[in-house]
């Protein structure tokens, strides 16, 4: 029952209902929890060890080396938002899709909460002396940073656990990836690389294609009497978003003070205009074929 989240009071109610015994005290409960914890930990360690062995074998078959693994990282929290006090981070192998390691991050300890406010008492001092190694708090930063810290922690543990390094990581957000690079989880010159470009390109292409359909519809609606004007209206958004102060590309944007283009509007009123950051060149290369489609 403990494994499905039912606490001591629920267990007592269940025992009373089936008329077993009422002698289920705290010591008995904690003893059972300790046994479950030891058993679950042993099984977990055996499972991730086996998963690591399988991942190394499949990596060797696919890439002719099994000491550098490609993984993905994923974080989950006990509740939505940035107020969660507990989160879990998992590292998943590319070829087996099995979990290779897990980090549980917590900024809350029930025992600490219970003893809060009793600092300075003899009872508190006696409890505190033995609590350090049992405290559940292992994270003191924001809930959002649990994923970052967990990923870095698991990378640093890969050699100890699997006798391998995580050289590539897929499908991870840029913030986490950059902080992982700064952490330098391995002492040698191995650089962790990101292998999510294909995934990112697919997402950019898909969303760009959806935007293209809307742009085609509006361009056709507003310029139905001229194919050339229709073409310019469609390409206007691409060049507009690719423009910089050094290289403005607004020749296809509609002129005048009422234009949706800020540069054209500033041109008409004689004001200065500063461009926002332009589309990255890699993104431009992904989007350009979408505009070229007929």
Decide if 215 is inside a domain: yes
146-167 per-position pLDDT tens digit: 988 999 999 999 999 999 998 8
Strand ranges, E, within 78-163: 86-93, 99-106
Least confident among 17-26, 116-125, 256-265: 17-26
Which pLDDT band holds residue 91 (cuts at 50, 70, 90)? very high
Contact 94, 70 (CB under 8 A): yes
Average pLDDT over residues 85-89: 91
Average pLDDT over residues 122-138: 87
Q: What is the pLDDT of residue 12?
A: 80
Least confident among 19-23, 46-50, 110-114, 148-152: 19-23
How many distinct structural domains can be found in the chain? Answer: 2
Q: What is the pLDDT of residue 73?
A: 85
Give bridge partners of residue 76 from the DSSP assignment. 88
Same-domain check for residues 161 and 176: yes
238-249 per-position pLDDT tens digit: 888 889 999 999
Above 80 in pLDDT, residue 63?
Answer: yes
Contact 91, 154 (CB under 8 A): yes
Same-domain check for residues 95 and 164: yes
Same-domain check for residues 63 and 183: yes
Contact 145, 85 (CB under 8 A): no
Decide if 5 is inside a domain: no
- Find which of 41-45, 67-71, 121-125, 215-219 is predicted with most confidence, using mean pLDDT: 41-45
Residue 287 phi, psi (nearest 5): -80, -30
102-129 per-position pLDDT tens digit: 999 999 998 888 888 888 898 888 888 8
Q: What is the pLDDT of residue 220?
A: 53
Same-domain check for residues 249 and 279: yes
Above 90 in pLDDT, residue 134?
Answer: no
| Tokens coding 198 | 């294909």
Which is more confident, 192 or 15? Answer: 15
| CA distance between the termini of the chain | 62
Same-domain check for residues 59 and 189: yes
Same-domain check for residues 180 and 207: no
Which is more confident, 272 or 187? Answer: 272
Q: What's the rounded Cα separation, in Å, for the pair 253 and 243? A: 11
Decide if 170 is inside a domain: yes
Mean pLDDT of the chain: 81
Which is more confident, 98 or 5? Answer: 98
Domain boundaries, position 90: 48-107+143-195
């Amino acid at each position: 029952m403990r494994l499905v989240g039912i606490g001591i009071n629920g267990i007592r109610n269940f025992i009373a209902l089936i008329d077993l015994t009422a002698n289920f005290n705290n010591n008995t409960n904690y003893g059972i929890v300790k046994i479950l914890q030891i058993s679950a930990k042993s099984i977990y360690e055996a499972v991730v060890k086996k998963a690591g062995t399988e991942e190394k074998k499949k990596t060797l078959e696919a890439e002719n080396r099994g000491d550098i693994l490609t993984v993905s990282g994923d974080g989950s929290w006990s509740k939505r938002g940035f107020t969660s006090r507990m989160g879990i981070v998992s590292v998943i192998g590319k070829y087996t899709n099995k979990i290779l390691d897990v980090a549980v991050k917590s900024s809350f300890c029930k025992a600490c909460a219970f003893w809060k406010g009793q600092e300075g008492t003899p009872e508190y001092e006696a409890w505190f002396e033995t609590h350090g190694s049992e405290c559940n708090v292992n994270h003191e930063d924001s809930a959002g940073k649990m994923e970052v810290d967990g990923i870095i922690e698991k990378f640093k543990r890969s050699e100890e656990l699997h006798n391998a390094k995580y050289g590539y990581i897929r499908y991870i957000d840029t913030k986490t990836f950059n902080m992982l690079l700064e952490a330098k989880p391995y002492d040698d010159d191995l650089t962790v690389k990101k292998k999510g470009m294909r995934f990112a390109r697919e997402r950019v292409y898909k969303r760009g294609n959806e935007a293209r359909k809307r742009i085609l519809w509006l361009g056709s609606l507003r310029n139905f009497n001229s194919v050339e004007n229709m073409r310019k209206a469609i390409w206007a958004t691409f060049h507009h978003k690719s423009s910089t102060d050094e290289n403005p590309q607004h020749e296809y944007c509609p002129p005048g003070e009422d234009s949706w283009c800020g540069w054209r509007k500033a041109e008409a009123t004689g004001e200065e205009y500063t461009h926002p950051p332009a589309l990255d060149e890699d993104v431009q290369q992904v989007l350009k074929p979408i505009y070229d489609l007929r």
